[in-house]
Every structure is written in C-alpha cells, then in structure tokens.
Amino acid sequence: MSSILADTAPRFLADYRPADFTINTVNLTIHLDDTCSQVVSELTLERKGDNQQALQLNGEHLTLVSLVLDNQALSKEQYQINDTLLIIPASSLPDRSHFTLIITTEINPQENTALEGLFKSGDAFCTQCEAEGFRRISYYLDRPDVMATFTTKVIADKSLYPYLLSNGNKVASGELSNNKHFVTWHDPFPKPCYLFALVAGDFDLLEDSFTTASGREVALEIFVDKGNLVKAEHAMTSLQKSMAWDEETFGLEYDLDIYMIVAVDFFNMGAMENKGLNVFNSKFVLADSHCATDSDYFNIEAVIAHEYFHNWTGNRVTCRDWFQLSLKEGLTVFRDQQFSAQMHSSAVTRIQNVRLLRSQQFAEDAGPMAHPIRPEKVLEMNNFYTLTVYEKGSEVIRMLHTLIGVDKFRQGMDLYFSRFDGMAVTCDDFINAMSDASGKDLAQFKLWYSQSGTPVVKAQEMFDSQTNIYTLTLRQQSPITKNQQNPQALHIPVKVELISENNDEPSQSELLELTQTEQSWQFNGFTSKPTLAMLADFSAPVKLIFDQDNTSLLTIMKQADNSFCRWDAGQKLLMSYLHQLTFDIDYTVPTELINAINDMLNSGGDRAFIAEQLSLPSFDEAASLMIDIDPIALTNAITTLAIFIARGTQQQLLTSYKACQQDDLKENAVANRALKNVCLAYLSLLPEYQYLVTQQYQQATNNDDILQENMTDSLAALTCSSKNNLDDLNEQLEHFENKWQQTTLVMDKWFALNASVVSEDVFAQLDKLLEHPQFSLKNPNRARSLISAFAMNNPKYFHCQTGRGYQFLANQIAKLNEINPQVASRLITPLIQYKSFAPAHQKLMKAELVKLQALTNLSNDLKEKLDAALN
C-alpha cells in the first residue's frame, strides 16, 4: 500500500471533467451500532468510454474491512488507500465495462461530532450527506453527477430503534435474532449520494395524506421526539400547502407514495431535502403558540416549503457539480419566497427578504469570501452554502422572472424539466431553457453568475421645464477586487415609478433594462418635475446611489404605488439621520420625522407593514451602507435615534400599542403583535413606560389563563428588558428558565437573550453560561444560541474597545474547530469582515484571526476563510 497525499488543494470550476466511471445501482446493508456501525455497499459500476483510468472512490474517517471485486476478494497489494481516497488501479480492474464491487467498512457514529455522514442526534441515528458527507459512510464516487438507484437495508435493535427509515418506498421488513429487526427501502429515482438518508430511532409519528392533482394518494409522515406530536401540526399543514402550491403554480406533483420528515435536535443547517426523507433541524418543525413565536411559525412554513420544492428543483433535476449549487438553491429560495409572499403579505415578505440580503449578503459580497453565485474556486464546499448562493441566487432568478414575466417564466420552467428531468445539469442549462422558452437574449444576463460583489447603480435626473422632458441617467459599476479586475456591465432590470405632482397627470411605472455602463431614458407627460421612486420591489440586488432630499423621500413614503418603495424611502430617511448621528451624536433630528411616524401610526394601513416602516435599520443594515464603521458610534446613534422617536411619538405609540392589544382578532393577530411589539420596543426606552414591559411579560408568560400565554409577546418583552437592561431582567430570566428548562428550543431563546443583554456584565454572564448544565458546544443550535447571538445581536459589547468580545468569539471558534468545523466556520463571519471597521477595531479583530490561523489541526473550513481574510 503506497501513500498518496491527502486532498487539501482547492478545486476549480474550470477543471470539471465528467467521471470516468459511473455507478448504476447501490445496495446498502447497514448494521447500526453506536460505536461500530458496519456498512456493506454493493455497487454496480460502469466504465465510461474506453478510458484506462484507475477507479478512485472518496472516503473519509472509514475503516475498510474488505473489498470484493466481481466476487473476488482484493488483496492489499491490489489497491491503495489514504485519508480521503480508495484507489483501485486499472491493472486491478476487469476489462469489461461493467463490474461489481462490494465494500465493507466500519464507522463510529457516536464520535461523529461534525454531524456529517452517520451520527447520533440524542438517541436516534441520522445522516447528513450534502455536500460531501456520504464519503463518511462508505467509499463512493461522491459527486452529484454520479446518479444511482439505491436499495437500503437498515438493521438495528428493535426496542431502541422501532423506526428504520431510508429513501423511497418500504419493500421488506422482518425480525432478526438478538432482538434486532430490519427494513429495506428502495428508491426508484436515480440520485446522487448527497440525497441519501437514513434515520433510526423511537419517535412519535404524525400521519396525514395528500391527494395529488392526478389523483395519487401520498402518505405524509412527520417523526418527532416523543411527546411532541401536537407541535408537528403546523409543519404538516405547511407541507400540504406547499404541495398544493407547487401543483398550482408550476404544475409539479410529488412523485413517490410517501413523504417523510424527521425532526432532530442535532443538525448543522436548517433542513435537508433527501429524497422522500427530509431531515430537519427540530427548530424548523416544532411549534405551538406557547413555545414558538410568529416568526418561528413563518420560518417553519418557509423551510418546509423550501425542502419540498427541492423535490423538483434539486432532486429530479440536480447539479452537475457543486459549483452549480445556486442552480438548485437560488431557484428553490425564489420558489419558497414566492410561496411565502402568496401565503402572507407579499409586501412584508419582500421587505424581510431585502432586509436579510442588504444586512448579510451585501456584507459577505464586500468581504474577503466574496464569490459569484456560481463560485469558481472551492477548498471546502461547506463554506459555500452562503447568503450569496442562496439569497443573491434567488434575486438573480427573480430578475429573470421580472425580465421575461410570469408566463414566460413558467414556460421556461416547463422546458427546463422536459429537457433535464433525471439529469445533473448546470446554471447555463437553466438560463438557456429560460432564453429558449421566452425568446429573450440572456447572454449578458449570465454575467450575474460569474461576477461577484454588489453592483452600484448611480441615478441622475434632469427635468427640462422648456420641453417638459424628464431624463433619467443610470450608471453601473461592479466592484473591482483582486479576483475581479475587469467587471463587465450587467443586465439589470430597474423598475421605476415617476410620481406626478399634478392630479391630472398620471404617475408612470416602467421597467428599464440597464445593460450599458451608462444609459439614459426620457419621459414626457409631466408639466413639472415628477418624484422618482427607484427599484420598485427591489428589482435588482444593487446598491443605489441617488441623492434625494427629504421632501422627495416623504413624497415617496406617502404616494408611491409600490409598497417596497414606500418602505424603502422611510428607511433612507432614517438612515440619513443615523449617518448624521454617527458623526455628531448631538445632531438635532428634524421634527418632520416625528410627523411622518405619527402619520404612519395613524394611517390605518396593514399593521405588519407599519411595523416594518417603524423598525430602524439594524446595526448590520446600517453598517453595510457605511465605510470605516465606528461600531460604538453606530450603536449609540441607533439608540439616540430610537429615543428621539420614542419621545416624540409616545402618545401615538401608546395609543397604537393599546389598540393592537385590544384588537385580538384571530385573523390579524400576527400583524397586531408585530406592531404592538415595535411600539413596546420604543416605549421601553422611556423609564415612564417600562411598566408596560413588566405587564406584558406577566400576561404572556405567567398568566392564570394559560391560553393567554404567547411566546411572541413574552419574548418581545424580554428582549426589551435585555436590550435596556431593565430592573426586572434578572427576575424575568430566572422565571423564564424555570418555566422552560425542559423545552430545548425555548432554552435556545433563553441563552440568546442572556447573550444579548446590553451591559458590561455580559462577559461574566457568558462565562457562566458556558458552564451551564444545559450548555454544550456539541449541539449546533445551542452553540449558536449563545455565541452567535452575542456576536450578532449585541454589537455594543461584541465590538467593545477592549477587544473582549472578539476574544470571546475566537476562543469558542477554536474549541469548535475540533468539535464541529462547519459550525466553527459559520461563526467566524463577523470577524473576517474586519476591513469594514475603523482601524482600532480592525487591529483587534485581525489579532484574533491571526491566533486562529496558528491553531494546530485547523480545519479546511476555517483555513479557507482565514487565508482569504488575512492575505
């Protein structure tokens, strides 16, 4: 056995080659055991063409027991093995193009804290194979363009693991000796191994069904920890809604007889779309009004939809290679956003999508890990499940939808499925289908897939009062970076609305296609200069530079037809005050803001929308629009502006608060709570209203009438207490902990609240919480609830001048590097974005990165980001 260097070099999109071999069928027999599970994998392989290549199978953390090729055991001289590969040289392979290989390996699920491959979540066995986790289960051609038909026999103790699940349909089951049993599953759809799944455990099972448009009955099964059955009902309803929506919107039906979802507590991500057997982070399944907030409900529905939609966009048509990840993710996020917009308020849903994009994705695109939605170079694939691939990817699909329209988009989807069903394809294949179906030339549009960074669009307007011609000039520029020296002009759909001053001249809405570096458009039909509302519906993921005075912004807020523009104008106004306040904390905010906010509160419009209008830009949203950020000045500016608003509008805030509280109408309950809690957040800044926080906490958490208790209101009150470090805080936190100590997902909220307390004491608290009996770095939700909550929700102390906040984060990342590299790598995001901060902060952050880079056993996940950040 010779040794070969382990595979730690980056891979490039440009190096893609089709595989030399493919796998047609996989027959797995898996004997489950905590510390030594045995996997027997029987592969039928096929050599493609007449190549003379060795067969190289991926495998990591595996113990090879035996290797049998066409019924002949291979001796150790006939193959080579290293940390990442099993290589069978051509000389050991038969001349025939078809042959079989039986690989027996052993793995240790109990020790698998990385939660990739086969691992234990509590008492259950569970798998996670995307992106490259199957290689931790058995040696395999672990790449998405190798698609095989899987048959899986799971064997385990019958009492401990009454449910044995895998993909597809159940084809056999039975008893074995030693109190064991088995179940065999067959998935008729060829799939890449990243869609393989296996679960074994003891669960409560919620059962229902769905009849497809063509009349097939599908069994729906949701598996949850014992005692949680009622908490799965919302997920079940969400699933049924998603199935109906995909039929109505895209004519897409489900294709197996059974759809299973398993909720587990140990999971790195949100959920996984394994064929017929989704595995979910329990936080995206379990909900009842006592333990889940309105946004938890919303997110559960969205994630259930997202994974369901993957059955077509991801599973039936999958990715040729991992560089194409946005093919399935961007498209599926777009689909789940459209679904949510239709189930709820489309205006509010869109605003929340944009808030996420502008606060997090823009920062990523401006940082050292910036990449196109189709990356070109990858060291650790897990690092590319990013806001860019997902959220910007979705924006790119949305632009396409805007450019060709809803009907042509549907025809494009139909064509895409008719061309590529059952295949592993590329982003180009998708765009070509859209182009062919719509007749639209999308050659330039494709640049969105290869260029990174947020494009800047500058607008300039001119009104000629002689000719009454209004001219709009747009210029675009994508950022120049080390990896992108010469960015080209993109094809950018810019929806504009020209708001007329005169009642007898209608406003005009237009879709402009900006394709040049600089382009102008002329409009007539106005006898005085109209007010321009740009980027209606946020029609493109760009930064807009357009100097508009407050009068114009107020006009847009009041008069624009497009709800997004009305909201965005308000945010711009608020942002301009924040900007002023960061330079001069004594700056006097004009009282026109108070009038505008009182008008909003009095408007009688959708309360959820008003709640969004009233919400200040978050720290991250504001930061993404600034350079050389002084984080302390920014947090102070946000607080000062909030207090100014609270003081100026307190009467109206109180009236609205009470009105929302009283109108406990079932249909509008979510919107009522949204506005009520925004009002409370403002009022809690003023000592004379802090009694409201105490009252609301009591009502929502400690009520004689348990039906009155509500997590949204309880958490909103606690958040006010923790943000303002109110007198009752400690008592409330203690009460909340006692009440919820048995409920894992609520305890995550409790840890997050503790980490968000705006007080110098937070550091002592963090140290104490690390020692809390319920804290564990091995549980990703719990690790994030403390560490990420601190770094993301507590900017004042995360960025404190002593550097203690940065140090705390780096210390936990160092520990997680050994336990769970994926989680470690996600947590490092705020540190690697150090270059957007003022020099003193940069220096402190960078020092922590340098320390991390020196770790022994540094994972590829962290290495890739640290190298990018520090060079």
Known catalytic residues?
A: 307
The binder of 236, among ligand PHE, Zn ion, none, by C-beta within 5 to 8 A per type, is none
**Given the rule CB under 6 A, which of 213-221, 268-276, 405-413, 734-742 is the region that contacts ligand PHE?**
268-276
Residue from the set 221, 273, 296, 364 that interacts with ligand PHE by CB under 6 A: 273
130 binds ligand PHE (CB under 6 A): yes
What's the angle, vertex CA 629, arms to CA 625 and CA 633, rounded to 5?
Answer: 110
271 binds ligand PHE (CB under 6 A): yes
495 binds ligand PHE (CB under 6 A): no
Minimum Å gap between C-beta 705 and ligand PHE is: 39
Q: What residues from 105 to 164 belong to the interface with Zn ion (CB under 5 A)?
A: none
What tokens does 734 get? Answer: 């203690």
Minimum Å gap between C-beta 417 and ligand PHE is: 19
Strand duo 271-272 + 258-264: pairing: unpaired
Nearer to ligand PHE, 307 or 612 (CB): 307
At 545, which amino acid appears? Answer: I
The binder of 243, among Zn ion, ligand PHE, none, by C-beta within 5 to 8 A per type, is none
Nearer to ligand PHE, 329 or 365 (CB): 329
What tokens does 284 get? Answer: 């995206």
Residue from the set 153, 191, 290, 306 that interacts with ligand PHE by CB under 6 A: 306
304 binds ligand PHE (CB under 6 A): no
114 binds ligand PHE (CB under 6 A): no
Residue from the set 145, 296, 321, 329 that interacts with ligand PHE by CB under 6 A: 329
What tokens does 714 get? Answer: 């309880």
Partners of 86 in the beta sheet? 57, 81
Minimum Å gap between C-beta 332 and Zn ion is: 5
Q: Which residues contact 91 (CB under 8 A, 6 or more apart)?
A: none
CA-CA distances (angstroms) from residue 59 to 25, 118, 436?
18, 13, 41
What tokens does 474 get? Answer: 């747009």
Measured in residues, the chain has a length of 871
# residues contacting ligand PHE (CB under 6 A): 11
Nearer to ligand PHE, 278 or 548 (CB): 278
CA 304 to chain CA centroid, nearest Å: 13
The binder of 749, among Zn ion, ligand PHE, none, by C-beta within 5 to 8 A per type, is none
Residue from the set 385, 523, 750, 808 that interacts with ligand PHE by CB under 6 A: 385
Angle at which helix 393-420 crosses helix 233-250, to 10 degrees, equals 70
Minimum Å gap between C-beta 417 and Zn ion is: 18
For residue 12, the surrounding DSSP H or E stretch is strand 11-12
For residue 378, the surrounding DSSP H or E stretch is strand 377-378
# residues contacting Zn ion (CB under 5 A): 2
Phi, psi of 833 (to 5 degrees): -90, 25
Minimum Å gap between C-beta 782 and ligand PHE is: 18
Nearer to ligand PHE, 130 or 221 (CB): 130
Q: How far, in Å, CA of 751 to CA of 733, rounded?
A: 10
Backbone region of residue 143 per phi and psi (left: phi > 0; alpha: psi in -120 to 50; beta: other values): beta
The binder of 271, among Zn ion, ligand PHE, none, by C-beta within 5 to 8 A per type, is ligand PHE
Q: Of the candidates 126, 41, 115, 23, which has an alpha carbon nearest to the alpha carbon of residue 424?
A: 23
336 binds ligand PHE (CB under 6 A): no
Residue 522, SS3? strand
**Given the rule CB under 6 A, which of 52-60, 123-131, 290-298, 534-542 is the region that contacts ligand PHE?**
123-131
Q: How far, in Å, CA of 711 to CA of 697, rounded?
A: 10
Minimum Å gap between C-beta 520 and Zn ion is: 40
The answer to whether the beta carbons of residues 397 and 298 sit under 8 Å apart is no
Q: What residues from 205 to 264 belong to the interface with ligand PHE (CB under 6 A)?
A: none
Q: What is the DSSP-derived secondary structure letter of residue 691? A: H
**Given the rule CB under 6 A, which of 29-37, 124-132, 240-248, 680-688 is the region that contacts ligand PHE?**
124-132
The binder of 128, among ligand PHE, Zn ion, none, by C-beta within 5 to 8 A per type, is ligand PHE
Minimum Å gap between C-beta 115 and ligand PHE is: 9
The structure tokens 């506005």 sit at 675
Q: How far, in Å, CA of 797 to CA of 801, rounded?
A: 8
134 binds ligand PHE (CB under 6 A): no
Nearer to Zn ion, 271 or 474 (CB): 271
Q: What residues from 300 to 359 belong to the interface with Zn ion (CB under 5 A)?
A: 329, 332
Residue from the set 128, 615, 744, 785 that interacts with ligand PHE by CB under 6 A: 128
Minimum Å gap between C-beta 841 and Zn ion is: 34
**Core vs surface per residue 68-95: b (16+ CB within 10 A) or e:** ebeeeebeeebbbbeebbbebeeebbee
The binder of 198, among ligand PHE, Zn ion, none, by C-beta within 5 to 8 A per type, is none
The binder of 556, among Zn ion, ligand PHE, none, by C-beta within 5 to 8 A per type, is none
Q: What residues from 630 to 649 belong to the interface with Zn ion (CB under 5 A)?
A: none
The answer to whether the beta carbons of residues 334 and 401 sit under 8 Å apart is yes
Minimum Å gap between C-beta 580 and Zn ion is: 41
For ligand PHE, the nearest residue by Cβ is: 269
**Core vs surface per residue 776-792: b (16+ CB within 10 A) or e:** ebebbbbbbbbbbbbbb
Q: What residues from 750 to 789 belong to the interface with ligand PHE (CB under 6 A)?
A: none
Q: How far, in Å, CA of 213 to CA of 217, rounded?
A: 10
C-alpha gyration radius of the chain: 28
What tokens does 666 get? Answer: 């079932």
Q: Which residues contact 92 (CB under 8 A, 6 or more apart)?
A: 69, 74, 78, 79
Minimum Å gap between C-beta 329 and ligand PHE is: 6
The binder of 336, among ligand PHE, Zn ion, none, by C-beta within 5 to 8 A per type, is none
Residue from the set 115, 269, 789, 824 that interacts with ligand PHE by CB under 6 A: 269
CA 816 to chain CA centroid, nearest Å: 21
ω before 131 within 30° of 0 (cis)? yes
The structure tokens 């509160």 sit at 601
Nearer to Zn ion, 116 or 329 (CB): 329
The binder of 380, among ligand PHE, Zn ion, none, by C-beta within 5 to 8 A per type, is none
**Given the rule CB under 6 A, which of 269-277, 562-570, 621-629, 783-791 is the region that contacts ligand PHE?**
269-277
Q: Which residues contact 452 (CB under 8 A, 6 or more apart)?
A: 365, 370, 371, 372, 388, 479, 481, 483, 484
307 binds ligand PHE (CB under 6 A): yes
Q: What is the DSSP-derived secondary structure letter of residue 457? A: E
Q: How far, in Å, CA of 164 to CA of 159, rounded?
A: 11
Nearer to Zn ion, 69 or 271 (CB): 271
The binder of 272, among ligand PHE, Zn ion, none, by C-beta within 5 to 8 A per type, is ligand PHE
The binder of 461, among ligand PHE, Zn ion, none, by C-beta within 5 to 8 A per type, is none
Nearer to ligand PHE, 310 or 572 (CB): 310
Q: Of the candidates 43, 45, 49, 42, which has an alpha carbon nearest to the alpha carbon of residue 18?
A: 49
Nearer to ligand PHE, 273 or 621 (CB): 273
272 binds ligand PHE (CB under 6 A): yes
**Core vs surface per residue 819-828: b (16+ CB within 10 A) or e:** bbbbbbbbbb
Minimum Å gap between C-beta 269 and Zn ion is: 9
The answer to whether the beta carbons of residues 238 and 87 sit under 8 Å apart is no
Q: CB 538: neighbour CB atoms within 10 A?
A: 23
Nearer to Zn ion, 332 or 754 (CB): 332
**Given the rule CB under 6 A, which of 84-92, 135-143, 271-279, 832-840 is the region that contacts ligand PHE?**
271-279
Q: Interface residues with Zn ion (CB under 5 A)?
A: 329, 332
For binding to ligand PHE (CB under 6 A), which residues are involved? 128, 130-131, 269, 271-273, 306-307, 329, 385
